[in-house]
Amino acid sequence: MSSSATVVADPLARIGRINPEHYSHFIEHLGECVYDGIWVGPHSPIPNTDGIRQFTIDALKAVGPAVFRWPGGCFADHYHWRDGIGDPASRPRTRNIFWGGTESNRFGTHEFIGFCRKIDAIPYICGNVGTGSPQEMMDWLEYCNGDSDLTIVDQRRANGEAAPLGIKYWGVGNENWGCGGNMRPQEYAAKYRNYVTYLARMNLGVQLIAVGHDAAWNRELLRALAGARFLPRLQALSIHRYFSLERQAFNYDESEYHDLIADAHVLEDDIAQADGILKNYEDPTNPVGLIVDEWGLWDRGRATPESGLRQANCLRDAVVAATCLNIFTARADRVTMTNIAQTINVLQCLIETRGPDAWLTPTYHVYQFYREHVGHDSLTTHVNSQPLAVQNRPGRPVSQLSASTSLSEDGSQVSFAITNRHYSESVECTLRLPEKTLGDAAARLLAGDQAMSANSASSPDAVAPTDLAVRSTNDALTIQLPPHSIAILTAGVG
């Protein structure tokens, strides 16, 4: 069966600039994300540069630029940065209390920065509030960004970095409502005030990111910061969202497929609630950025600490990822960064490795597509399509099609990202930019025979982009999308 749909974007309704930060990533010392998805060591028979797996470098450089958040996650709030500098052979071996096993500390601050440089990424460090101290985080910041005649800066220089590292993004803790200390919002507000008192006075050009959570936490946190002269220093608030934690294991039938798509729309409510609460407290001339720095599908039945939080990654997950990126793009006026969890081998990853083998997941190709939006302005986009046989949590209908649109600053190029989320039906989609002529167009398609189609070491290109035909009719462009597929279309604008 086939249906029809339209996507109409308003060229006069620019929402906000789409920056590299909008489509970013998260890595943690968890399972095989860092060891050996990223770090194999300089003496490994696996091809590498300075100990970083070469496949990972090449793949992530091709899908960048973007931000990479490190070292966690729950791991961040018991990570002590001095364990990860200096001679690797002399670094202490420590316990990973959240994810199990021994932490070698072979991948530390300098290795992380080297990794970011190799893939043209922007580093984001998450500081330790749970078991650390303001002084420890101040020292880490000074070590990384300082340029004075200080002993700790000389230590960085002695470790091979003469110039400041210039790390802009610093998280003041992680999930301090949970694994970061099980704090109440008022307790975390006191911690945040304590840390920011000192970090802000260092004047090292950073953006400090506070830990947010659900509406109740965010409301109490901002209330505690208001009137304490600290709200003006709140530059960004982070929230996390994982889908389907309550399921014991994912199924691959049509019903659950559609349920997962509906689950993703809880992000719309997360963003709307945080936006409304922030507007009640922030200075409207200096709005607070909203960062979704952990999000994605989590198959709790398979992705356990014992399995290194590995889970199957298939085309269905790519459809969910595209849905989420469309939601984020539509709120580029408030959302300033998002980081999928996690880049390699963990949860909804972009890359999987097994020993010397490595391959790309379908979600990787979604990020490849959305590079076309970066540097453009998000446009208000209206989708008219059939509803799916499912409703989201508030009981609203979920449309068959999900889309986002962006326009270059000079208005000469438009990009449409379109996802057909139906399990079994194709759709003919017509794209319009009112009062504009759409010229030369090119499109790429990510599709597969089944929603559970996936790549593997033996079939690394089972799900890979292909060219998609575009038909031009008067003032519109038309494409045909098979079930569970994602497309990116770019066109000149006249």
Q: At what angle do helices 151-158 and 134-145 cross, to 10 degrees?
A: 50
Q: Which two tokens stand for residue 494?
A: 């006249």
Which SS3 state, helix, strand or coil, does residue 74 take? Answer: helix
Single out the residue of 297, 317, 309, 324 nearest to residue 361, CA to CA.
317
| 294 counts as catalytic | yes
Q: What is the spatial distance between Cα 315 and Cα 303, in angstroms, rounded to a whole number?
A: 18
Q: At which residue do the structure tokens 């490595």 appear?
A: 358
What are phi and psi for residue 153, nearest 5 degrees?
A: -75, -40
* 457-463 own/partner pairs: CB under 8 Å, 24+ apart: 457/354, 457/357, 457/358, 457/359, 460/359, 460/360, 463/314, 463/315, 463/318, 463/362, 463/365
Active-site residue, selected from the candidate residues 32, 111, 142, 175: 175
Q: What is the spatial distance between Cα 402 and Cα 476, in angstroms, rounded to a whole number?
A: 18
Active-site residue, selected from the candidate residues 32, 103, 256, 294: 294
Which is it for strands 2-17 and 377-384: parallel, antiparallel or unpaired? antiparallel
Q: Where are the beta strands (DSSP E) in 160-229?
A: 169-171, 207-211
Helix residue ranges, H only, 265-417: 266-281, 315-330, 362-370
Q: Assign 3-state DSSP to the chain and report helix, strand, coil percentages, each to 5.
A: 30, 30, 40
Q: What is the spatial distance between Cα 257 and Cα 62, in angstroms, rounded to a whole number?
A: 30
End-to-end CA distance of the chain: 35
Give the single-character DSSP code of 336.
E
CA angle 406, 18, 127 (to 5 degrees): 155
Q: What is the spatial distance between Cα 241 and Cα 481, in angstroms, rounded to a whole number?
A: 29
Helix residue ranges, H only, 331-392: 362-370
Q: Which two tokens stand for residue 401?
A: 């099609």
| 28 counts as catalytic | no
**What b/e readout covers 18-56, taking b as 16+ CB neighbours within 10 angstroms?**
bbbbbbbbbbbbbbbbbbbbbbbbeeeeeebeebbbebb
What positions carry a catalytic annotation? 175, 294
